[in-house]
Amino acid sequence: MNDRITSVRLSSVRLPLDVPISDAKVLTGRQRPMTEVAMLFAEIATAQGHEGLGFGYSKRAGGPGQFAHAVEIAPDLLGEDPSDIPRLWEKLVWSGASVGRSGLSIQAIAAMDIALWDLKARRAGLPLAKLLGAHRDSVRCYNTSGGFLHAPIEQVLENASAALERGIGGIKIKVGQPDTRADLARVEAVRAHLGDAVPLMVDANQQWDRPTARRMGRAMEEYGLTWIEEPLDAYDHEGHAALVSCLDTPVATGEMLTSVAEHAALIRAGAADILQPDAPRIGGITPFLRLTALAEHHRLQLAPHFAMEIHLHLAAAYDQEPWVEHFEWLEPLFDERIEIVAGRMAVPSRPGLGLTLSEQAVKWTVDQAVIA
């Protein structure tokens, strides 16, 4: 054993959002507007003085539960060799196996797993993408945060223009409103504003039934969309597969799934043209790499969900040209910023994820535990 883990610092941080956020789940009465994001940070240190930083998150509910589960299982990392990441991931999974191998229990592991990968890359003096084996030094990016349904269409158009001026390459807007005519009018307005050359995506956030999804998918064919995202319930693999078969527009889904096994079922069903896994939701980088190996085998496109600070590195290591989703929400938590030029995010040259926690993140901390 060359090194050993001596401490794990876990922090629960409440990140406030500037305005309450609404997508179709709010307009259909299934959720309340989102006002904050619960972050779980893990800082891992070793006997030889190496450190790694990782994080996970939860929207609306689940943050305290993730923190509590992480605190309960983190002692199992003490004394272990930080290089043995897949073995340690399995050890943490089995520490909490009685509450399952998906959902909150797996998401609580993500921050620690990501911290271990960050530590390994920092120790090697490499950006994480380079440690994993990068196919590219930058990745196509699109903006989502400017296209939510709480914003009137005039604001959405202004947000889209601002994103393009910043160098972002594509625009995604939310749809899935109770009035489908309002959705079509929204898409038509954005396409007219952007012109035909700018990639445009739409996201229904699981709010259509099968007949509505078919009808809306066909109606939107004329707008040349890059993809239609989550047209159906996330676990309706059969329905998504039928849409893949009948629409020219690619179908994207996967962000709500919380394990590799759930994604594998999605892939077996032929239910996605574009896979959208979320590393913090499926347990970290270790399961994400297992999933992308499967996705590569099936020649699927990749567009990871949220957490661009992590997914930029993972997308850069994917064999086919991927997309990364731009959200500026997490930026106040870190001292560094990602460079965006000519429609692409540049992989940072700094070792690991290239992130350090800001003073603001410390101020937003609501709970903390040090396991040593």
What is the rounded distance in angstroms from the CA atom of residue 14 to the CA atom of residue 6? 27
Sorted by sequence, the CB contacts under 8 Å of residue 142 that are 6+ apart come out as 168, 169, 170, 171, 172, 199, 201, 226, 323, 324, 325, 326
Helices vs strands, H then E, count in the chain: 14, 14
What is the rounded distance in angstroms from the CA atom of residue 228 to the CA atom of residue 202? 5
Which letter, b or e, does each residue of 325-363 get, where b requires 16 or more Cβ atoms within 10 Å of its Cβ? Answer: bbbebbeebbeeebebeebbbbbbebbbbbbebeeebee
Phi and psi of 258, rounded to 5°?
A: -125, 30
Annotated catalytic residue 174: yes
Sorted by sequence, the CB contacts under 8 Å of residue 346 that are 6+ apart come out as 137, 138, 338, 339, 340
Cβ count near 96 (within 10 Å): 19
Annotated catalytic residue 298: no
List own/partner pairs for 58-61 with CB under 8 A and 24 or more apart.
58/107, 59/34, 60/31, 60/32, 60/34
What is the rounded distance in angstroms from the CA atom of residue 248 to the CA atom of residue 238? 17
Contact 82, 47 (CB under 8 A): no
Active-site choice (130, 172, 305, 311):
305
Cβ count near 251 (within 10 Å): 24
Q: How far is CA 143 from the centre of its chain?
A: 13
Contact 82, 52 (CB under 8 A): yes
Active-site choice (172, 174, 237, 326):
174
Q: Which helix (H) or strand (E) holds 134?
A: none
Contact 74, 111 (CB under 8 A): no
First-to-last alpha carbon distance for the chain, in angstroms, is: 19
Sorted by sequence, the CB contacts under 8 Å of residue 224 that are 6+ apart come out as 191, 196, 200
Catalytic residue positions, numbered: 174, 305
